[in-house]
Structures are given as structure tokens and as C-alpha cells.
């Protein structure tokens, strides 16, 4: 490559002495730039890296699920029927008793349909401080038709340990449904479920401090031994110390250096930006209900021959009008059915031969050349896996 460069220059029209000397000085730079392109471009094209924060989760830095039971009031006749939802009636009586209304009175005559019993759910983000707000989701439990225009009353939200971590209240934003007198209707969204933006206030903080951790555990979102080893190597190379160890395919243990324990947040910020090339198992995902097929990059198959064809019998009925001849007596006009029968034996189908080591692109091109649709392709992939020729995990949803 470099030996031909002076020949190329000498074949040009003779330049001046200054231009020729300048070209000789620039030629090593051009050669070095070309060498850099040859070295780095193929590597980046073949190795797509991701940030460490997009591959792992820091153990302990996690969300927590909250749930509660409450009442939504102010519905325009679309709430629960108290005769069909006794829990709603009992909740109403208990709420009135807490507000000072005598619960010994006879409430059996209550016929209101402006109230609904609901389940309230929320997600408590990590490190949520007391007084901060989170969103909540409200869903009906009884036979309420819609939560449109309703207001959720004060509802404590509990965690898995039974402690109350937040309290929710506010106006519910939900879908709507309208029905005309002729029976036509229109529905937008789900009227029996709604959302309250910033509808809950955090009342209790989770006792978790990063500064007390001497060891961080990185949990891989897609467990893989190769990816775990690459993560440990990337961290050790960045810190220039063997502090990270891949304990299994889903966990990397990281000992925080003594000089960084006073700044855990800064230490995690430096680590989560490290580039890592994740690896994955060759896998084919099939959803039979929707006909969706997703194949990984490293899917390969051994030598196999594929033929696709079906025997299809089609019978169609076409109504035709039969009229009597002109001037005929006693003839009537009748509608008769004309049947048409056709048989397709799939004679136009061809057999495709896929050789050993066929890549994903070759497999897709070969199946598309046969005119195979997603449904038939699912059956073919299952048959290839049954024959032992598909070198990938086949997962059917």
C-alpha cells in the first residue's frame, strides 16, 4: 500500500519543488491515517458497546410496590351497585362512622350509585424523600361503569412489609364511554381505571444508605457469563485494581476502594459510564398468537432442506337468477346456487437447501424466496428445531 504511493505521485504532472517536498512530508501522515481507519473502523462496526448503566442494575437501588384500598366518590350514577358490591356498602358505613356519623343508624336503605370501591397502586422510586409526590393508578373492584369525574378519598398505601409509605388522594383522570338511545356507543380508553398524577405523598422513607455499603453488587438485566466477565474486566481496567469479580452469570461483586467510600455517588457515576460489549445466547422468539418472530444475530442452522406446500380445497357458492323462456306458461323466476370447486395441491412449491453454517440473513432470504408467510415460517422453524438443525434456543410465547 505504502510502496505504491510514490509511484502514484510520480505519474502526475511534474509539480514544483515546493509542492513536491510538501507532498513527501504529508505522505506519512496520510498513510498513518489510512492505517488507523483500517484498524478501528472494522472493530467499531463489529463491536457495538453499551453503557454499564444500560446493562446492569445496582442492587439495593430499586423500586418498591405499594397498594391500598379506597373509595372514589362523586360519580355521576356510574358507581357500584351496593346490592351487588357489599364491600362497597361496608366501606361507606365505616367511612361515615370515622367522620362522626352514627353508625348505629339503619343504612340498609342506601341506594346511591355515586361511589365505587377501588384498588390503588403506586411505585415508590428509590431514595424517595418524605414529602415528595408519586403517581397512583386507580382500578375498580365492583360493577362500576366509569370513574370519570370521581375523586379518590384519603387512601393509605402499604408496602410488602405492611407499613404505610404514602397516602393518596385526588381527582381521577380516566377514559369515558357514551351510549346513544339507538344503542350506538363510543368508548375512549378504559373507563373503569384511571390515574392521578402526583396523587400520593410519601410519608415514610426506606432505610437504605449508599454510604454504608462497602461492596456493590451489580445485577445483570440479561444474565450471561461472558457479559459478566466483560463487566468485571472493564471495571478492573478502569480502576487499575482487581476490585470486581463475576460471581455468576447474573451478578458482579464490586469492592468499593477505601479512597472512594466517602463519595459513593461519584464512584457509581464513573462506573456506570464505562462501555461494555454485551453478549447473548442465540435465541428465536415466537409469538404464535400474533405471528411475530424475532431472531438473534448469532442464529445458525446446519444443512437442511425445506419444502412448503399445502393441499387446499376451495368451494364457492355464487347465487344466480334463473328466468323462464319467453312466452312460456307456468315458468317462474328462481334464484339458484352455482358451486365452483377448485383444488390446489401446492405443485408450484419448491424445495430450498440451506447449507451448514447458514446465517440469519440467508435463512430469511431463503424462506422469503419460497413465499412463506409468518404463520408457515413458525411451523418451519419449529420443524428445523425438532430436526436438530437450529443452533439456537427456540422460545414460544
272-309 pLDDT, tens digit per residue, is 899 999 888 888 888 877 777 787 777 777 777 766 66
Tally of CB atoms within 10 A around 75? 22
Cell numbers linked to 397: 410465547
pTM, two decimals, is 0.63
Q: Is the pLDDT of residue 162 over 80?
A: yes
Alpha helices in the chain (DSSP H): 4-10, 17-46, 86-98, 225-239, 264-272, 360-369, 374-386
Q: Report which DSSP code applies to 325.
A: P
Q: Which of 119, 121, 117 is nearest to 87 (CA)?
A: 117
Coil vs helix vs strand at 274: coil
CA distance 31 to 4: 11
The residue-averaged pLDDT of 66-71 equals 95
Coil vs helix vs strand at 101: coil
Q: pLDDT averaged over the chain? A: 76
Poorest-pLDDT segment among 83-92, 257-266, 322-331, 355-364: 355-364
The residue-averaged pLDDT of 65-75 equals 94
pLDDT at position 311, please? 44
Q: Which of 189, 188, 74, 201 is nearest to 128 (CA)?
A: 201
Q: Is the pLDDT of residue 342 over 80?
A: no
The residue-averaged pLDDT of 324-353 equals 61
Contact by Cβ (8 Å): 384, 360: no
219: enclosing H helix or E strand? strand 215-220
Q: Which of 89, 86, 91, 84 is nearest to 70 (CA)?
A: 91
CA distance 199 to 122: 10
Bigger pLDDT: 179 vs 294: 294
Q: What is the pLDDT of residues 194-250, one digit of tens each?
A: 999 999 999 998 887 777 778 889 999 989 999 999 999 999 999 898 999 999 999
Q: Is the pLDDT of residue 132 over 90?
A: yes
Q: Work out the pLDDT band at 337, boundaries 50, 70, 90.
A: low
Cell numbers linked to 61: 437501588
Q: Work out the pLDDT band at 46, boundaries 50, 70, 90.
A: very low
Q: Work out the pLDDT band at 317, boundaries 50, 70, 90.
A: low
Amino acid at each position: 500500500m505504502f510502496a505504491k504511493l510514490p509511484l502514484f505521485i510520480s505519474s502526475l504532472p511534474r509539480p514544483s519543488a515546493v509542492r513536491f517536498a510538501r507532498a513527501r512530508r504529508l505522505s506519512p501522515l496520510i498513510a498513518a491515517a489510512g492505517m488507523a481507519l483500517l484498524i478501528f473502523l472494522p472493530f467499531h462496526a463489529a463491536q457495538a458497546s453499551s453503557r454499564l448503566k444500560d446493562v446492569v442494575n445496582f442492587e439495593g437501588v430499586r423500586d418498591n410496590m405499594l397498594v391500598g384500598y379506597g373509595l372514589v366518590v362523586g360519580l355521576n350514577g356510574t358507581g357500584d351497585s351496593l346490592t351487588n358490591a357489599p364491600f362497597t356498602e361496608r366501606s361507606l358505613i365505616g367511612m361515615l362512622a370515622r367522620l362522626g356519623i352514627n353508625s348505629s343508624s339503619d343504612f340498609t336503605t342506601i341506594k346511591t350509585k355515586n361511589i365505587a370501591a377501588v384498588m390503588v397502586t403506586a411505585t415508590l422510586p428509590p431514595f424517595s424523600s418524605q414529602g415528595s409526590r408519586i403517581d397512583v393508578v386507580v382500578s375498580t373492584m365492583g360493577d362500576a361503569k366509569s370513574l370519570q369525574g370521581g375523586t379518590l378519598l384519603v387512601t393509605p398505601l402499604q408496602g410488602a412489609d405492611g407499613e404505610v409509605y404514602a397516602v393518596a388522594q385526588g381527582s381521577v383522570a380516566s377514559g369515558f364511554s357514551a351510549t346513544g338511545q339507538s344503542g350506538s356507543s363510543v368508548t375512549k380508553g378504559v373507563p373503569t381505571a384511571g390515574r392521578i398524577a402526583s396523587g400520593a405523598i410519601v410519608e415514610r422513607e426506606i432505610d437504605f444508605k449508599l454510604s454504608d455499603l462497602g461492596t456493590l453488587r451489580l445485577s445483570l438485566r440479561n444474565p450471561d457469563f461472558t457479559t459478566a466477565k466483560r463487566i468485571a474486566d472493564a471495571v478492573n481496567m478502569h480502576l487499575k485494581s482487581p476490585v470486581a469479580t463475576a460471581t455468576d452469570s447474573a451478578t458482579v461483586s464490586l469492592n468499593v476502594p477505601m479512597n472512594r467510600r466517602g463519595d459513593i455517588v461519584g464512584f457509581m457515576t464513573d462506573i456506570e459510564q464505562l462501555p461494555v460489549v454485551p453478549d447473548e445466547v442465540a435465541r428465536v422468539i415466537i409469538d404464535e398468537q400474533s405471528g411475530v418472530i424475532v431472531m438473534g444475530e448469532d442464529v445458525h442452522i446446519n444443512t437442511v432442506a425445506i419444502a412448503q406446500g399445502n393441499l387446499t380445497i376451495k368451494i364457492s357458492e355464487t347465487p344466480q337468477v334463473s328466468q323462464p323462456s319467453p312466452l312460456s306458461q307456468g315458468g317462474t323466476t328462481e334464484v339458484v346456487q352455482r358451486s365452483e370447486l377448485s383444488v390446489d395441491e401446492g405443485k408450484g412449491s419448491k424445495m430450498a437447501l440451506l447449507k451448514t453454517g447458514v446465517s440469519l440473513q440467508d435463512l430469511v432470504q431463503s424462506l422469503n424466496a419460497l413465499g412463506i408467510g409468518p404463520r408457515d415460517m413458525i411451523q418451519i422453524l419449529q420443524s428445523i428445531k425438532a430436526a436438530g438443525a437450529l443452533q439456537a434456543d427456540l422460545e414460544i410465547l
